[in-house]
Amino acid sequence: MHTLDGVTRSDQYRALGLSTFAFTVCFAVWTIFSIIGVQIKEDLGLNDTQFGLLVATPILTGSISRIFLGVWTEQFGGRIMFPLQMLITAVAVWLLTSVQTYEVFLLAALGLGLAGGSFIVGVAYTSRWFEKEHQGTALGIFGAGNVGAAVTNFAAPFLVVALGWEGTARVYAIVLAIVAVLFYLLAKTDPVQEDRKRTGARPVSAGSMLEPLKDIQVWRFATYYFFVFGAFVALASFLPRYYVGAYGLELTTAGVFAGLYSLPGSVFRALGGWMSDKWGARFVMYLTFIGSLAILFVMSYPQTAYVVQGITGPIEFNFGLSVGFFVAMTIILGFLMSLGKAAVYKHIPVYYPHHVGSVGGLVGMIGGLGGFFLPISFGILLDYTGVWTAPFMLLFVIVAVSTVWMHVAIRRMERARHPALADEKYLSDVPHEPHPAPTPRAPRAPGSAAQPAE
């Protein structure tokens, strides 16, 4: 475990506050296509599958980039990587406004998607400032930066009305660049980087950082995140389109209702981290999965009309969710997802304290890929079934499979590998021993030839 000697509470709060704010802005940028994409869809005459691909493309970059951004953050520190990542993204967002064709929009969306990689940069940076006992809560607070999706859903529709989608993109690019500069000026170098400067130790190699990815439990954590985060991002992007199409709402109203889903899906992540610290991450995951199954079952039921042949003639019954009831269901679902997101990332600094960047990057990547593939799947389902609630049916199946797999296979395997867990009330996920630290490379002797970069 890294040393926290000399780190004050003020230092911890500064790191957590700056990281959370920067991540909030990045997440708002990452989901901007959920709003401006609706206008682009009309301008280019896209079908639902094409729109789903456009919305999902930034998620692809944001997901894949988490692996190398996590490793680089472990090596060079978040104070360097966070501003660099934000500045590059700001340039991509600005250039988006000069695009004219659908194919080039997809290429531009790849650059914009780098905003999603900010998550693992913040996780690796923030976790280095806190003790193991408080990392769940700290990372839960940081993860509340997902509220950026709500910021976009609430604010971007009004910016589009006032400035057009091009003006909205320019505003986002300017804000992101300003935040990058402020972060670099106000943030401090994390304790691990400071310790390396004092001792002269060199950063460990990328290969050593990626070594834990051979563990099956890393991939198991990633499958949990596929739903709690991937589906969250997918729905944050899809719901404005759903409200406009299924309920005939204006874009501004649809954005506000989608924001009501994104808000609890973000701000209660801190509560999920606290619950994971107190009762165990596995307990919180069960709560998330079982509650989500119930909510998605109701949301997936389509508008239906029944005709029963009564004694005096046909009797008609109609079943469907009013827009108010549906919005309430999405709020509850977002709340449950926020708990699950925090629970997943409670595991990582406990099991892999020296590999938070690489392990967290993989888990975030798989979760982010859910945010890429699911909107495309939603569009395909809408085009081929013609049923508005078909996407929620897909999510119900995903959660059902995940719940059964976790309960039957994973519980049996964990109890076989860690018998002590069988007697714990809440089946804590704290390991007997965390994954060992990678072997550091020896400092280079003065005057010796420089070693090739790894």
Coil vs helix vs strand at 389: coil
Q: How far is Cα 273 from Cα 136, in angstroms, rounded to an integer?
A: 5
Indicate if the pLDDT at residue 250 is higher than 90. Answer: no
Question: Rounded to 5 degrees, what are φ and ψ at 424?
Answer: -85, 140
Q: What is the mean pLDDT of the chain?
A: 80
Burial class (CB in 10 A: 0-12, 13-18, 19+), 207: exposed
pLDDT band at 453, cuts 50/70/90? very low
> What's the average model confidence in pLDDT over 278-293?
88
- CATH superfamily, with its number, for domain 9-188+208-302+322-423: MFS general substrate transporter like domains (1.20.1250.20)
> What's the average model confidence in pLDDT over 272-299?
87
Coil vs helix vs strand at 398: helix
Indicate if the pLDDT at residue 232 is higher than 50. Answer: yes
Burial class (CB in 10 A: 0-12, 13-18, 19+), 188: middle
255: nearest Cα among 337, 383, 155: 155
List, as one string, the DSSP characters of 360-387. Answer: HHHHHHHHHHHHHHHHHHHHHHHHHH--
pLDDT band at 330, cuts 50/70/90? very high
> What pLDDT does 363 receive?
78
Indicate if the pLDDT at residue 452 is higher than 50. Answer: no
> What's the average model confidence in pLDDT over 5-15?
83
Say which range, 77-91, 109-123, 330-344, 427-441, has the weakest mean pLDDT: 427-441
Coil vs helix vs strand at 44: helix
| For the chain, domain boundaries | 9-188+208-302+322-423
pLDDT band at 174, cuts 50/70/90? very high
Q: How far is Cα 204 from Cα 287, in angstroms, rounded to an integer?
A: 38
Q: How far is Cα 264 from Cα 332, in angstroms, rounded to an integer?
A: 8
pLDDT band at 1, cuts 50/70/90? very low
> What's the average model confidence in pLDDT over 352-371?
74
> What's the average model confidence in pLDDT over 123-134?
81
| Residue 193 or residue 24, greater confidence | 24
Say which range, 48-57, 174-183, 391-400, has the weakest mean pLDDT: 48-57
> What pLDDT does 450 receive?
47
> What pLDDT does 296 receive?
94
> What pLDDT does 331 receive?
93
Indicate if the pLDDT at residue 420 is higher than 70. Answer: no
> What pLDDT does 107 receive?
84
> What pLDDT does 209 receive?
56
40: nearest Cα among 139, 168, 126: 168
- One-letter amino acid at 379 equals G
pLDDT band at 151, cuts 50/70/90? confident
> What's the average model confidence in pLDDT over 13-36?
88
| Residue 55 or residue 24, greater confidence | 24
Indicate if the pLDDT at residue 181 is higher than 90. Answer: yes
